[in-house]
């Protein structure tokens, strides 16, 4: 952890700081374009259920693809890529 109670990570190369205990979904939503993935047809999609059921928030985290951002706690130094 960096500053007290804050976790710093990167979303598509952009640095973002979130309160400790936040999910990766919260971190992705904190950057300007809060988009998580493109659908089969290319439509933008973002988190829906917030509890690991819908899989709309899936992203690449530290080179592991298809991770549910809402189920993954944000950790210092994580590299998150959307549109995975």
Q: Contact positions toward another protein, by CB under 8 A?
A: 18-23, 25-27, 29-30, 34-36, 39-41, 43-56, 58, 66, 70-74
For another protein, the closer of residues 13 and 40 by Cβ is: 40
Distance of alpha carbon 72 from alpha carbon 84, whole angstroms: 16
Q: How far is the CB of 10 from another protein (least distance, A)?
A: 16
Please list, in sequence order, all residues whose beta carbon lies within 8 angstroms of the beta carbon of residue 40, skipping any fewer than 6 positions away. Answer: none
For another protein, the closer of residues 72 and 80 by Cβ is: 72
For residue 7, which of 76, 57, 82 has the smallest C-alpha distance?
Answer: 76
The tokens for 48 are 């829906």
Q: How far is the CB of 37 from another protein (least distance, A)?
A: 10
């Amino acid at each position: 952890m960096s500053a007290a109670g804050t976790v710093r990570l990167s979303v598509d190369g952009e640095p973002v700081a979130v309160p400790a205990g936040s999910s990766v979904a919260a971190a992705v939503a904190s950057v300007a374009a809060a988009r998580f993935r493109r659908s089969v047809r290319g439509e933008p999609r973002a988190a829906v259920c917030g509890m690991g059921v819908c899989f709309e928030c899936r992203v690449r985290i530290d080179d592991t693809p298809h991770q549910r951002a809402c189920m993954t706690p944000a950790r210092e130094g994580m590299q998150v890529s959307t549109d995975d």
